[in-house]
Structures are given as C-alpha cells and as structure tokens.
Structure 1
Amino acid sequence: MRTILIIEDSEDQRNLLGSLLGSRYRLFMEGTAEEGLKRALVVKPELILLDLGLPEMDGYELCNRIRSIPDLESVPIIILSGQQGVEAHSKAYRLGADNYLEKPFEKEELLAIIESKLKYANKLMRKTIGNLTVDLKNGAAMINGEKLDLTPKEFKILAILWESVDQVVSREAILKYVWDKTHVSDRVIDNHVTALRKKIKEASVRIESIYAQGYKLLSN
C-alpha cells in the first residue's frame, strides 16, 4: 500500500482526508510543520498533502525545507489550501509544490491527481540501463535480475550517479547525499567508489572519474 503523509492543522480536514483516502493508501497525519517534517524523515512518504496555514512554520517554508533534503527532494507535494489567487499558487510552485488545490476541493480531482503523481513517481523509482536495474524505492540494484550485494553507502553513491546519468556529480554533492553532515576525506569517497566499481563491473554502465570535479556514470 502506497504511503501518504498529510500535514494539516485542522482536525476536520484530517478526518475528511482520512475518510477519503484511508481505504486506498497508508496514511500518516500530523498537525504542525515541525511534526510533519519529523514524520517525513522517518517514514519517507511517497506523496505529501500539505496545508499552507500551519501554526509557527507555515506550509510555504515547510515545502522549501522538504525540497532541500536529499531523501525528500523528489517526493510529490500537493498543496491543499484556502488561500486563493495567482500569487499564492505561484509562490507555492516556486518553492517546490507539484500541484495546488484550493479548499473546498473536488474529491475526484484530488484522487485523480494523487493517482497520477504516484504512477509517475513509481516509474522514476525503478530504471534500467542495459542489464543494470536500480530500484530506488527498495534500495536494490540488479544485474540481469540478480541482486547486487551493496552496502548502504555504495547504493547511495550509485543512486545519486544514476539520477544524473552522463552528467558529472561533484564530490561535494556525493558527500552531502551519502554522509550528510559527517566530515570524511576524499580518500574515503574514492575507496567506496572503487568498491562499487568492482561490484558493477559486469554491468552495462561504468563510473568515470572526472579530474578535480567528481564522478560520472556512463553507459557502455
């Protein structure tokens, strides 16, 4: 069952959304931005329904913060808000929202948007190049259908390179995505990349070092 996080301060709205979506999806609900962010970091939802009029930190700021977190930056965000007009819509889109529905919204429209977003996101989460398949959702990589024995950090390196195939990914980007705030030397990154290269040597892709820049994943 697909996972949706609802961040909405109105209990009535949470109950309404729960009745509408509860039989279709696995739901998590929070009433504040801070609690919503904490929950998102733990459950890694596949879609977020976000109200703008939240106490303390509003939905705009929360949307912006979610988009700055590597593990959450690609999660679809649908705004559900009573704020109307082009300015509210434009601000939400600039900060990373995918859709904006004004309250009261049409239930069928919301269901259709959710279904569309999850269907598209599912395609992005599993990709194949030649004989190598990377399943970002389940944290697995396979060559000719056989699962590779990758460490969590090796998989995260492969994932960030995979999402930017044929483009240079800087050491700084890899460091932030894989090690977060932990400081490690370039040598540590190199050692992990070397180990990853050995494990995908039979794949139809290769990792190329780009001097003074970073790494690039190329198809053979």
Structure 2
Amino acid sequence: MEKKTVTELNPAGGQADKFVILLVDDEEEILEYISDVFSEKYRVITAQNGLEALERLHDDIVQLVISDVMMPGMDGYQLCERIKSDFEYSHIPVILLTAKTGLQATIEGLEMGADAYVEKPFHTDFLQVQVASLLRNRAKIKAYFANSPLVHIKSMAHTKGDEMFLEKLQNLINERLDDPELGVEYLADRMNMSRPTLYRKIKSISSLSSNELINITRLKKAAELLSEGILKIYEISERVGFSSYKHFGRTFSKQFGMSPKDYVQSRQENAH
C-alpha cells in the first residue's frame, strides 16, 4: 500500500492535508457511526481488531488512535501497550473507549499509556473535543519548535524513547553540520534504520521530512551562534553548511520571519 504523508499543521485543507485517525472496534456498526462523526474533518481509517490495527499503522502515517477496549484476540489495552512500547509508534496519542466504569478501569487504561479514557455511552461532542484537543496540542508543539530559533528538538518528544531518538538525531546532524552534502542516507545508516522508517518516525513526530529537519537544525544552530555574537554572519553561514551567504539569509528569514541581521539586533535589544 502506498504510504501517504500528512501536513499536520494544516488540517483544514484537502483530503491529503487532513489528520489521519485510526478507529479500532470489532463491531462494524460502531466503526461506521464514529467514522461518520469524524470523516468531515479528518481522514479516517478503520480496523476490526488489534492485529489489523498494527497493520494499518505500518501502512499509514497515523496521528491518533481511537480504540475500543473489549475486542477478541488483542484487546484495546494490549493494543495501546504495543503502540506505546513500539519505537516507531510510541508518539501516537491513544484514546480508549470502554463500557467498563469506575476508577480502577480508568487507571488500568492510563497505566497502559492511554492519553485519554472515554466511558461508554459517550456523547460524540465530548469525543470530538478530546480528539481535537490532543491533535491541536501536538500541532502547537511542533509549530513552536519549527518557528522558534532556540527551542530544543526534545520539546517535541512525548516519550523517553522519542526524546532519546531526537537527541541522537540532532547530535548526528551537528557532527556534520558544516557539510552541505549531509543527507538522509548518512542519518539512516548511523541510526541503524531504513530510510522509509527514519522518514516515517521524523514525519510523525515533527511533521517535517528528514531533509527539512536537517535544514531546521542548521538554522537553529545558526541562531545559537548569532546569539553568541562572536562570529560574523558569513562565518556562521559556512559553519552550518550553507555554501551561499545569500541562500542562508533567505532560508533563515523564511523559517523565522526575520533576517540574520535583524535577529542579531533583536537579541541585542532584548539583552538590554
């Protein structure tokens, strides 16, 4: 199945731009009902059990999972635990739906790593608010990282595993930051991952492609060096891997909304 990318920071666009939600339930009527509720705003894919859900996660870049708890074979608790313990999927928020009531059932779901726990019967407006809140918060974090010069890459991590992954990735990029030819092949090799797996993980966590993340890491290091006020702008441009000073200036301005020179001036003004 062809993998589809999703522009997470612009979920209001066409079908290809919508957040992808995976619904998991062994009852066809419930899948159809919840799909109808969410299909206008999101791209909805479905699975009827936990194992089928894992296959869908492998085939699609999914932003959120809604799963029933009571299912034959792999139930919702087990599915949630598998998602949260799998390096490739651990960042995906999971909402569990269950007819079980009481504090103990809620605790059990949260202990498995669920991000929200909704008891049946539920009002669809309540479920929609839960989904929108989780996706909106994730999108804000990603946008804040991309648009803020000095925000660390680890700010996007939602699990310890993701934090370690992002930190290792940034360290690898920084080691070769002055190399204009630094590319995905080098990162995939050093991370011991295939290019598609690396792409999926980076895209899911950050909404960026591998090359876009490399470029933003260059620009963030440039912002850090500009803040120090020691090197000249053209020296910083070379140090972070831009062969052209003008290209560096245009790229920096496009990413952060101001030129390197204006950024230096704003930092100096804020320091006083």
TM-score range, shorter chain: 0.5 to 0.7
Equivalent of 2:73, from 56, 61, 70? Answer: 56
Q: 1:205 to 1:38 in 2, by over 3 A?
A: farther
Alignment match, 1:25: 42
Q: Give matches, 1:189-200, under 5 Å.
A: 200=218
CA-to-aligned-CA distance 1:139-198 (integer Å, 9 cap, x gap): xx9xxxxxx8763356679xxxxxxxxxxxxx9xx5579898xxxxxxxxxxxxxxx79x
Alignment match, 1:145: none
Q: Supply the distance in 1 between the matched residues of 2:186 and 2:107 (Cα, whole angstroms).
A: 38
Give the structure with the higher percent helix: 2
User: Residue 63 of structure 2 aligns to which amino acid in structure 1?
Assistant: E
Q: Supply the distance in 1 between the matched residues of 2:28 and 2:43 (Cα, whole angstroms).
A: 18
Q: Supply the distance in 2 between the matched residues of 1:48 and 1:60 (Cα, whole angstroms).
A: 12
User: Residue 152 of structure 1 aligns to which amino acid in structure 2?
Assistant: V
Preserved contact between residue 70 and residue 177 of structure 1 (Cα < 8 Å): no
Alignment match, 1:103: 120
The question of 1:118 aligning with 2:135 is answered: yes
Preserved contact between residue 2 and residue 26 of structure 1 (Cα < 8 Å): yes
Consecutive unaligned residues in structure 2, runs of 5 or more:
1-17, 157-169, 171-179, 198-213, 226-272
The alpha-carbon deviation at position 204 of structure 1 amounts to 3.7
Preserved contact between residue 6 and residue 48 of structure 1 (Cα < 8 Å): yes
Q: Supply the distance in 2 between the matched residues of 1:177 and 1:91 (Cα, whole angstroms).
A: 35
Q: Kindly report the root-mean-square deviation, in angstroms, between the aligned alpha carbons of the 2 structures.
A: 3.5
Equivalent of 1:66, from 83, 86, 92? Answer: 83
Query: SS state of the match for residue 55, structure 1?
Result: coil
Q: Supply the distance in 1 between the matched residues of 2:38 and 2:196 (Cα, whole angstroms).
A: 36
The question of 1:203 aligning with 2:218 is answered: no
Alignment match, 2:96: 79
Identity of aligned residues (%): 25
Q: 1:48 to 1:107 in 2, by over 3 A?
A: same
User: Residue 130 of structure 1 aligns to which amino acid in structure 2?
Assistant: P
Q: Supply the distance in 2 between the matched residues of 1:177 and 1:73 (Cα, whole angstroms).
A: 18
Give the structure with the higher percent strand: 1
Q: Supply the distance in 2 between the matched residues of 1:78 and 1:122 (Cα, whole angstroms).
A: 17
CA-to-aligned-CA distance 1:18-40 (integer Å, 9 cap, x gap): 11111111000000100101101
Alignment match, 1:152: 184
The question of 1:130 aligning with 2:149 is answered: yes
User: Residue 3 of structure 1 aligns to which amino acid in structure 2?
Assistant: V
Larger Rg belongs to: 2
User: Residue 92 of structure 1 aligns to which amino acid in structure 2?
Assistant: G
Query: SS state of the match for residue 203, structure 1?
Result: helix
The alpha-carbon deviation at position 58 of structure 1 amounts to 1.1
Kindly tell me the number of residue pairs found equivalent between the two proteins.
164
Q: TM-score of the superposition, structure 2-length normalised?
A: 0.52
Q: 1:115 to 1:32 in 2, by over 3 A?
A: same
Query: SS state of the match for residue 53, structure 1?
Result: coil
The alpha-carbon deviation at position 80 of structure 1 amounts to 1.1
Q: 1:203 to 1:155 in 2, by over 3 A?
A: farther
Q: Supply the distance in 2 between the matched residues of 1:123 and 1:14 (Cα, whole angstroms).
A: 29
Alignment match, 2:53: 36
CA-to-aligned-CA distance 1:100-122 (integer Å, 9 cap, x gap): 11111011111111111110111
The alpha-carbon deviation at position 70 of structure 1 amounts to 2.1
Consecutive unaligned residues in structure 1, runs of 5 or more:
142-147, 158-170, 181-195, 207-220
Alignment match, 1:209: none
